[in-house]
């Protein structure tokens, strides 16, 4: 088994360009949690020209709504949610500096085109492994939209957060490549 490539946030274009589909990564630094309701609000702020609750430049957003924390933990189970629900909002966030997204499942052509144009990466977290993922989250604090409960925007400090490069900055898509490799009778 290959060792994970260690990356640190905020992400830079050089780091992103060095990532290829199928590579394992280990993320250390600050990431933000946000799901579809929060994404909608972030895009509305951009459209109004208002300030966002965090700087998108080099940022990574994890599509997660973590469970409440048990004593001694920053968050409870923190497995990824399906990413396509963020597709209507991701291109604008990428255009304004978002460099990384973590979730599960495929992404739309519009998101992939924006990733290639603005140098961004999509990482897959392992669905069903929320308890394992939460162990990499060392600190979490709600920074916006507390009324959304689990879906509030959180600033999370992570250490060795595991993910796999699912779509790289060249537009290569692990989900499509995997289907092609396993097609029968093609």
Report the pLDDT value the prediction gives residue 185, as an integer from 0 to 100.
47
Q: What is the pLDDT of residue 133?
A: 84
Reading phi first (left if > 0) and then psi (alpha if -120 to 50, else beta), residue 53 is in: alpha
Structural fold of domain 5-182: fumarase (3.20.130)
Q: How is the chain split into domains, by residue range?
A: 5-182
Q: Going from the first residue of the chain to its last (186 residues), give the mean pLDDT of each consecutive group of 10, the final group possibly shorter.
A: 90 98 97 97 98 97 92 89 96 98 96 98 85 89 96 96 96 81 54
pLDDT of 1 reads: 54
Per-residue pLDDT at 131? 79
Core vs surface per residue 151-183: b (16+ CB within 10 A) or e: bbbbbbbbeebbbbbbbbbeebbbeeeeeeeee
User: 44 by DSSP, 3-state: which?
Assistant: helix
Q: Is the peptide bond before 10 cis (omega within 30 degrees of 0)?
A: yes
């Amino acid at each position: 088994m290959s060792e994970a490539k260690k990356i640190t946030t905020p992400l830079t274009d050089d780091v992103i360009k060095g990532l290829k589909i199928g590579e394992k990564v280990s993320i250390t630094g600050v990431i933000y949690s946000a799901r579809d309701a929060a994404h909608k609000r972030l895009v509305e702020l951009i459209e109004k020209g208002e300030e966002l609750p965090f700087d998108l430049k080099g940022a990574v957003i994890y599509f997660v709504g973590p469970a409440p924390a048990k004593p001694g933990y920053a968050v409870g189970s923190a497995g990824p949610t399906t990413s396509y629900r963020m597709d209507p909002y991701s291109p604008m966030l990428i255009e304004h500096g978002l460099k990384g997204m973590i979730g599960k499942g495929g992404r739309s052509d519009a998101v992939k085109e924006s990733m290639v144009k603005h140098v961004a990466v999509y990482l897959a977290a392992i669905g069903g492994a929320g308890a394992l993922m939460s162990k990499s989250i060392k600190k979490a604090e709600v920074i916006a939209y507390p009324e959304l409960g689990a879906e509030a925007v959180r600033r999370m400090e992570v250490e060795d957060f595991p993910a796999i490069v699912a779509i790289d900055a060249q537009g290569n898509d692990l989900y499509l490549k995997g289907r092609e490799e396993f097609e029968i009778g093609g």
